[in-house]
Chains A and B, each alone.
Chain A
Amino acid sequence: MEKDQDKILKNVTENEYKYGFVSDIEMDSLPKGLNEEVIRQIWKLKQEPEWMLDFRLKAYRQWQKMVMPQWAHLQIPEIDYQNIIYYATPKKKEGPASLDELDPELIDTFNKLGIPLEEQERLSGVAVDAVIDSQSVKTTFQETLAELGIIFCSMSDAIRDYPDLVKKYLGSVVPYSDNYFAALNSAVFGDGSFAYIPKGIRCPMELSTYFRINLADTGQFERTLIVAEEDSYVSYLEGCTAPMRDENQLHAAIVEIIVMDDAEVKYSTVQNWYPGNKEGKGGIYNFVTKRGICKGNNSKLSWTQVETGSAITWKYPSTILKGDNAIAEFYSVALTNNYQQADTGTKMIHIGKNTRSTIISKGISAGNSNNSYRGLVKVMKKAENARNYSQCDSLLIGDQCGAHTFPYLEVDNKSAVVEHEATTSKIGEDQLFYCNQRGISTEDAIGMIVNGYAREVLNQLPMEFAVEAQKLLQISLEGSVG
């Protein structure tokens, strides 16, 4: 049994990261380092309006005054912020980039990743915005969406074409002074996606952004802004990968979501940045600020995340439940293996009356990794009849890893009902035995059990993603318990 376990664990740790290739795309990039001049150059290169420069510089000056947060249960090596390329973009020919004009190497890259950039692939029925390093390279299905009045484009385009909308909402949920990484992102963000769903429109297809870090030494700082007007609906997906490299790369993104009266936004992430090798060398530092606001009455925001990648994850998709009767959900599966570290969770801030939030978090730690859930449920004084239910389960695989739970419950209203439950355990030997005696091999049994364990969350994912996520979990976990 012991031996089997070792073998199986070895198998898992030797699983290769299949997105670890580097594409040979011609890139333009700024030199390493960060100062006001670099920010001016980014602003210039992106041909942004004057107010954006103000925004960036203000954020940069704020960032200089801040220090890196130390409270997370993470061991973060010193990051040299002057040794990072803050802006890199695939070389672009003049004129609008139609598919034919894209670097074939680039199309290849996305094909390898399984991202349909070609609109002919209508079967997939997903509109994709592909972002490589600091630049959005292609957004598909724009015309179809435009017929409904839906705006789905890169952030750069949005700043150029819809400055009023961007100006109104950018930084309204995550102000530049929010935290260290938010300030850094606000100063240097390259690109990202912008989605605007007008009143009464139900977006007919999944909107999706695919992020890819390609160039060495670059940091990726993307920015996503989603605005769902009254009575609209959208489901948004996000995926990410990066090449295998020995040095660590920084990813500090911001996602802001605004949900108006009766609207609903569903945001799903499958995060698969390069996690580093089995000795813990290399990998992405994923320091992300995601926050949405249920601004209108009866609005709903649902976060689903499958976190399998990144050397270090620091991420807390949060919801401010401002409107009355607002609903927020957070479903998460976080898996860490080898020397990965994750400190992830959510914040639910109840302000409106009759607001409800649900938190389901499933952590899986293997190898020498550490996996923490950190969450806050705050019920403000005015939030009558607020209701929260949180459940955080951790599964431990092997005796070298750690699983931690740090929930905070702050209740300031007597009519609130807030519940938190957490369990930590390993896969039950009785469950394994049960499967074994019915002729199911240990490997398959573990696959089944883990899948069942994460099902509650995976069920929340849109179909295409659910399949991908299930595969991801399987790759990392199949037979990893003996």
Chain B
Amino acid sequence: MIVVEEKLPKHPDTRILERFDDGTGKNIHPVLDRVRATALKDFKRLGIPAGKNERYRYTAVGKLLDRPFVPLLHPHHRNFKVEEIFRCDIPTLDTLEFTVLNGFFFEEQETLMELPGGVLVGGLRQALKQVPQLAEAYLDNLSNTVNDGLVALNRAMATDGFFMYVPDGMVMDKPVQLVNLVKDDEDIMVQHRSLVILGKDAQAALLICDHALSEQKFISHGLMEVFVGENSAMEITKLQNEHNSMTDLSSLFIRQERNSRVRTNTISLHGGLIRNNLHVILQGEGAENQAYGLFLMDRKQHVDNSVFVDHAAPHCFSNQLYKGVLDDEATGAFDGKILVRPHAQKTEAFQVNKNILLTDHAKMNTKPQLEIYADDVKCTHGATVGQLDEEALFYLRSRGIHEYEARMLLMYAFAHEVIREIKIDPLQDRIHELVDKRLHGELPRCHTCLVDYHK
């Protein structure tokens, strides 16, 4: 049973805690059990971020948790194989594929998989057993429960997730693909936490796909901590393509050492409510971070990207480009913040958020922010909300291109600026295709997924 020493205060969010079953979440792993107590305490104090919380100003996460759902602390009994229900259809994409189902690593074997060069991949729970020193040294170093209720809830509930370790000097030739699947007969809440560690001079690419395989009202929150060592390079691409009753929350924390390079791409194509937190700390001199995002939303979908880049060392570079197209009654939000700490001189930081509204019912809120405490810096940010360029549209039409096609072309071009930053070629091609389909309204999901798509 979860240790709750004091009586729960009358707070709406405690309903979540009350739903913890007896006997679940107990004795999973000493480390996880230990942090759970503090996390619960913090969660009780903080609750789910509500409208008053500046960082969640434009996304009402709290409301979603009012409805009943089942929290999962242990994997359900599985009576299916992943290959039966899901198969990634990017034909030319040769990846090492791993699956997390309902927040639990889907194990083919009991131990962590050891790849050539000493790369370890597997479930977090297994990693804590098998390589405790390594995993414990890094776990929870980046996220904290002091001021973020969602992180606290994740830490209290998540008992498994993904683990990857790339030792010093190892350059992985194949991207690793992590597929987060959610499938259940009930409305479940899924919480998982992952840990990715890159040593010095290492290189890796990670593709994360979030999919919901049945139409229940799921809530999923995946927290991932990524440590990138000196001179290492990492590319993370996240693809969100889920149905409209899905709430997909994600928190990605990245710490970069000296001269490391990280590039993230967050592509949101479908989803009921999407909230992506990206938190980057540039810890070592000369670190470089590029964060790209693209969201194409329609109906009553909501997407909120929150990016925080912390320049904690001099001579670092960061660049963010987030672009969005909002159709129907979709709402979008962007909350970006660049913090340049004192002494982080010679910082170069750039941030751009561009949005297109297609209907009068779509809505965009954007909040690009700079907080700068060092003087020898170059920082800019910009945000626009507008429509397609009428002159460009006229140009195309005057050359005999149908208005509909012309609009599609322009939107495609708008999105291209982000997609071209995906450096894995087959993946880039595939996402181009997906986006093109999405813009034409023809995309239910990666279409060869074997499960029927329910609207």
Q: Name B's A-contacting residues (CB within 8 A).
A: 54, 342-343, 345, 355, 357-360, 362-387
Q: How far is the CB of A84 from chain B (nearest CB, A)?
A: 29
- Docked-complex contact A418 and B378, CB < 8 angstroms: no
Distance, CA A424 to CA B369, complexed state (A): 11
Please tell me which one of the listed residues B345, B375, B381, B385 contacts residue A416 in the complex, with CB atoms under 8 A apart. Answer: B385
- Docked-complex contact B363 and A399, CB < 8 angstroms: no
Digitize A383-414: 1 where CB-to-B-CB distance is under 8 Å, 0 elsewhere. Answer: 00000000000101111111111111111111
A residues near B358, Cβ cutoff 8 Å: 414
A residues near B362, Cβ cutoff 8 Å: 414
Known: A405-B381, A414-B362. Contact between A398 and B369, CB under 8 A?
no
- Docked-complex contact B384 and A420, CB < 8 angstroms: yes
Distance, CA A328 to CA B59, complexed state (A): 30
Distance, CA A415 to CA B357, complexed state (A): 8
- Within A49-73, the residues touching B (CB, 8 Å) are 71, 73
Report 22 cross-chain contacts, Cβ distance below 8 Å, ordered by A residue.
Answer: A73-B371, A394-B372, A397-B375, A398-B375, A402-B372, A404-B370, A405-B369, A408-B366, A411-B365, A412-B363, A414-B359, A416-B357, A416-B385, A417-B384, A418-B383, A418-B384, A418-B385, A421-B380, A421-B381, A423-B380, A424-B377, A426-B375
Q: Which chain B residue shows the least CB distance to A421? A: B382
Distance, CA A208 to CA B368, complexed state (A): 37
Q: Does A437 sit within 8 A of B, measured CB to CB?
A: no
- Docked-complex contact B381 and A422, CB < 8 angstroms: yes
- Docked-complex contact A422 and B367, CB < 8 angstroms: no
Distance, CA A208 to CA B364, complexed state (A): 41
Q: Which chain A residue shows the least CB distance to B52? A: A71
Chain A, interface size: which category?
Answer: 35 or more
Q: Which chain A residue shows the least CB distance to B384? A: A419
Distance, CA A396 to CA B357, complexed state (A): 36
- Docked-complex contact B370 and A417, CB < 8 angstroms: no
**Central interface residue in A412, A414, A425, by most chain B CB within 10 Å:** A414
Q: How far is the CB of B269 from chain A (nearest CB, A)?
A: 21
Known: A409-B365, A412-B363. Contact between A71 and B54, CB under 8 A?
yes
What 8 pairs across the A-B complex have the smallest Cβ distances? Answer: A396-B375, A414-B357, A411-B385, A424-B379, A405-B370, A417-B386, A402-B373, A418-B385
Q: How far is the CB of B382 from chain A (nearest CB, A)?
A: 5
B residues near A417, Cβ cutoff 8 Å: 384-387
B residues near A415, Cβ cutoff 8 Å: 360, 387
Digitize A211-226: 1 where CB-to-B-CB distance is under 8 Å, 0 elsewhere. Answer: 0000000000000000
Q: Does A381 sit within 8 A of B, measured CB to CB?
A: yes
Q: Which chain A residue shows the least CB distance to B347? A: A424
Q: How far is the CB of B361 from chain A (nearest CB, A)?
A: 8
Known: A398-B375, A418-B384, A426-B376. Contact between A410 and B365, CB under 8 A?
yes
Main secondary structure of the interface of B (DSSP, over half): strand
B residues near A394, Cβ cutoff 8 Å: 370, 372
**Central interface residue in B343, B368, B381, B385, by most chain A CB within 10 Å:** B385
Q: How far is the CB of B388 from chain A (nearest CB, A)?
A: 10
Q: Which chain B residue shows the least CB distance to A374? A: B369
Distance, CA A423 to CA B377, complexed state (A): 10
A residues near B383, Cβ cutoff 8 Å: 407, 409, 418-420
B residues near A425, Cβ cutoff 8 Å: 377-379
B residues near A406, Cβ cutoff 8 Å: 367, 369
A residues near B366, Cβ cutoff 8 Å: 408-409, 420
Q: How far is the CB of A373 from chain B (nearest CB, A)?
A: 9
Known: A399-B343, A412-B363, A413-B360. Contact between A407 and B380, CB under 8 A?
no
B residues near A397, Cβ cutoff 8 Å: 375
Q: Which chain A residue shows the least CB distance to B374? A: A399
- Docked-complex contact A424 and B380, CB < 8 angstroms: yes
A residues near B384, Cβ cutoff 8 Å: 417-420
B residues near A381, Cβ cutoff 8 Å: 360
- Within A424-468, the residues touching B (CB, 8 Å) are 424-426
B residues near A379, Cβ cutoff 8 Å: 385
Distance, CA A407 to CA B382, complexed state (A): 10
Known: A71-B54, A414-B358. Contact between A407 and B385, CB under 8 A?
no
Q: How far is the CB of A418 from chain B (nearest CB, A)?
A: 4
B residues near A422, Cβ cutoff 8 Å: 368, 370, 380-382
Q: Which chain A residue shows the least CB distance to B331? A: A412
Q: Which chain A residue shows the least CB distance to B345? A: A399
B residues near A410, Cβ cutoff 8 Å: 363-365
- Docked-complex contact B379 and A423, CB < 8 angstroms: yes
Q: Which chain A residue shows the least CB distance to B327? A: A414
Distance, CA A190 to CA B284, complexed state (A): 56
Known: A421-B380, A424-B379, A425-B378. Contact between A414 and B360, CB under 8 A?
yes
- Docked-complex contact A400 and B342, CB < 8 angstroms: yes
B residues near A409, Cβ cutoff 8 Å: 364-367, 383, 385
B residues near A396, Cβ cutoff 8 Å: 372, 374-375, 377
Distance, CA A71 to CA B384, complexed state (A): 25
- Docked-complex contact B342 and A399, CB < 8 angstroms: yes
Distance, CA A422 to CA B369, complexed state (A): 9
Q: Which chain B residue shows the least CB distance to A410? A: B365
Q: Which chain B residue shows the least CB distance to A390? A: B383
16 A-B pairs besides A403-B372, A414-B357 with CB distance below 8 A are A394-B372, A399-B342, A404-B369, A404-B371, A406-B367, A407-B368, A409-B366, A409-B367, A410-B363, A410-B364, A411-B363, A414-B387, A417-B387, A418-B385, A423-B379, A424-B372
B residues near A402, Cβ cutoff 8 Å: 371-373
Distance, CA A381 to CA B361, complexed state (A): 8
**Central interface residue in B378, B380, B383, by most chain A CB within 10 Å:** B383
- Docked-complex contact B372 and A411, CB < 8 angstroms: no
- Docked-complex contact B382 and A419, CB < 8 angstroms: yes
Q: How far is the CB of A419 from chain B (nearest CB, A)?
A: 5
- Docked-complex contact A407 and B369, CB < 8 angstroms: yes
Q: How far is the CB of B56 from chain A (nearest CB, A)?
A: 14
Q: Which chain A residue shows the least CB distance to B340? A: A424
Q: How far is the CB of B379 from chain A (nearest CB, A)?
A: 4
- Docked-complex contact A420 and B368, CB < 8 angstroms: yes
Q: How far is the CB of B128 from chain A (nearest CB, A)?
A: 40
Distance, CA A165 to CA B120, complexed state (A): 78
Distance, CA A418 to CA B357, complexed state (A): 11
A residues near B377, Cβ cutoff 8 Å: 396, 424-426
A residues near B379, Cβ cutoff 8 Å: 423-425
A residues near B380, Cβ cutoff 8 Å: 421-424
B residues near A399, Cβ cutoff 8 Å: 342-343, 345, 374-376
A residues near B387, Cβ cutoff 8 Å: 414-415, 417
Q: How far is the CB of A5 from chain B (nearest CB, A)?
A: 11
Distance, CA A394 to CA B377, complexed state (A): 11
B residues near A73, Cβ cutoff 8 Å: 371
**Central interface residue in A394, A417, A423, by most chain B CB within 10 Å:** A423
